[in-house]
Structure 1
Amino acid sequence: MAAPYAGQYVTPGRFGGKVAVVTGAAQGIGQKVAERIGAEGGAVVLVDRADLVHDVARGIGEAARASGSGGSATAVTADLETFAGATQAIKAALAAHGRVDVLVNNVGGTIWARPYEEYDEDKIEKEIRRSLFPTLWTCRAVLPAMIEQGSGTIVNVSSVATRGMHRVPYAAAKGGVNALTQSLAMEVAGHGIRVVATAPGGTEAPPRKVKRGPDAESATEKDWYQTIVDQTVESSFMKRYGTLDEQAAPIVFLASDEASYLTGSILPVAGGDLG
């Protein structure tokens, strides 16, 4: 079961009365964001295709009750690589709470690491589907409700790897997330909706409970992956990976009313690497 958010910078009540949908919330950055919003009084709907998201939601709910934060958490299992899955997730949030104030699109991540000429057609399509389509679909699914209520905030999780080694399809997908963020922000500002993004760099995290793809097997595959690690550290002014808490904090800030004059912005969170 998930431990309560342990960061020292929690702002009590910042999300009081707010309903936040967080995708990819079963582990990693998404889990940390959901824990933080729950600790700050929000009603969090965690979405993931892995069933363990229900355990994370129970942990957040128990922590909220124990602390008296006013937060709550429910979980929805859905495949956000399909529009049907994204629609299902948003409908579940609306059925439970009647509105969605915040959407954090966190689904995505490199599946394979290799020079572009080593990607076949199937791998290219799967990378794009994993790291672009969930954000496209879920933005589209939530917009009617946000437009009707005349307010809302969408925070997309992109990446500084739009410039990086051995993951061209992933870079292209995250470049699409950046374009989506800026274009949609312009389009929906008149409806009272903000659209922003963070662009994380390398992030230290526990071993994934559900892996994105197969482990590197050959010495060559391991070398290709190590190139990513080395380039990521070298590109960072701080010469290190960030922590999950260091990634969650700016996402939560951008999702909050404190960021009310920010839209269309993409914030690099990568120790100085601008991508």
Structure 2
Amino acid sequence: MTAPVRFHQKVAIVTGAAQGIGRRVAERLQAEGAWVLAVDRSELVRELADEAVLTLEVDLETVEGAQAAAQAALDKWGRIDILINNVGGTIWTRPYEHYTPPQIEAEIRRSLFPTLWSCHAVLPSMQKQGSGAIVNVSSIATRSINRVPYAAAKGGVNALTASLAFENAQRGIRVNAVSPGGTEAPPRRIPRNTQTQEDPQEAIWYQQIVDQTVASSLMKRYGNLDEQAASILFLASDEASYITGTVLPVGGGDQG
């Protein structure tokens, strides 16, 4: 039995593609026939380079980085059919009162602004061609512990998903999001923060997140990369042609 080819010659931008969910999404899009622009600020993204995969290293926390990514896809293929916004992730884990103001701002910049900027950068070309699918990666952490700034950022992702869907449904553009729950992935090759030694208290707070995540899941387990990628690819595909403005929880029954 051959795998479906849902994305034959579709042009897809995948952000945060160097590791984890983003990397798996880029690999599966390419396997199903897409031309992929894999974007990350880490040079690890170069490992995905292929005849059908163009890689780009930019900082998507800046509007210039997002514009450069959109332009790279347009210069290479002349169109953008799919945008997967995957940049984000908790940098620190701690009760809210233990965050410093710079840390709060850093969390918001990391997990909200890349999605805002990237959507803004691709919309003109999608509107001009009268078609497109955007899938934003949110999180069930919008209802969780020890990561309030991250939760606020992902709540913003959910809100912009709904609002963009309202504005663009009549223009042929669908905008949806997935909210992954806890996900098993290989160890990060580049950490989200620059601490060289693990803080024992931070480890305790992180374990509290793990325990709460498992307890909140009806299945009492973490998901895996393919379970997350499958939901993202579904919403990006024509199989989801009558779905827009939806935030799909993918957390083993945890609705976030």
Q: TM-score, normalised by structure 1?
A: 0.91
CA distance in 2, matches of 1:217, 1:97: 44
The CA deviation at 1:222 is: 1.1
Q: Which residue of 1 aligns with 2:237?
A: 256
Q: 1:39 aligns with which of 23, 31, 39?
A: 31
CA distance in 1, matches of 2:165, 2:91: 28
3-state SS of paired residue (2:182): coil
3-state SS of paired residue (1:272): coil
Superposed CA deviations along residues 238-273 of structure 1, whole A, max 9, x for unmatched, are: 011000001000100100011000000000000000
Superposed CA deviations along residues 44-65 of structure 1, whole A, max 9, x for unmatched, are: 110001111111223xx4xxxx
Q: Which residue of 2 aligns with 1:193?
A: 173
Q: 1:243 aligns with which of 211, 221, 224?
A: 224
| Structure 1 position 107 matched with structure 2 position 99 | no
Superposed CA deviations along residues 59-81 of structure 1, whole A, max 9, x for unmatched, are: xx4xxxxxxxxxx1111111000
The CA deviation at 1:110 is: 0.3
Q: How many residues align?
A: 255
3-state SS of paired residue (1:176): helix
Residue type of the alignment partner of 1:88: A
Work out whether residues 112 and 213 of structure 1, in 8 Å CA contact, stay in contact via their aligned partners in 2: yes
Q: TM-score, normalised by structure 2?
A: 0.97
Q: Which residue of 2 aligns with 1:231?
A: 212
Superposed CA deviations along residues 150-184 of structure 1, whole A, max 9, x for unmatched, are: 10000000000000000000000000000000011
Q: Which residue of 2 aligns with 1:48?
A: 40
Identity of aligned residues (%): 65
The CA deviation at 1:217 is: 2.5
Q: 2:200 aligns with which of 194, 200, 219?
A: 219
CA distance in 2, matches of 1:123, 1:238: 33
CA distance in 2, matches of 1:31, 1:203: 14
The CA deviation at 1:38 is: 0.5
Task: Kindly report structure 1 stretches of 4+ aligned residues shifted beyond 6 Å.
Answer: none
Work out whether residues 238 and 271 of structure 1, in 8 Å CA contact, stay in contact via their aligned partners in 2: yes
The CA deviation at 1:9 is: 8.7
Per the alignment, do residues 212 and 10 of structure 1 end up closer, same or farther by CA in structure 2, a change over 3 Å counting? farther
| Structure 1 position 30 matched with structure 2 position 30 | no
CA distance in 2, matches of 1:220, 1:9: 49
Structure 1: state its 5+ residue gaps.
Answer: 1-7, 62-71
CA distance in 2, matches of 1:227, 1:9: 42
Superposed CA deviations along residues 21-49 of structure 1, whole A, max 9, x for unmatched, are: 00001110001101111000110110001
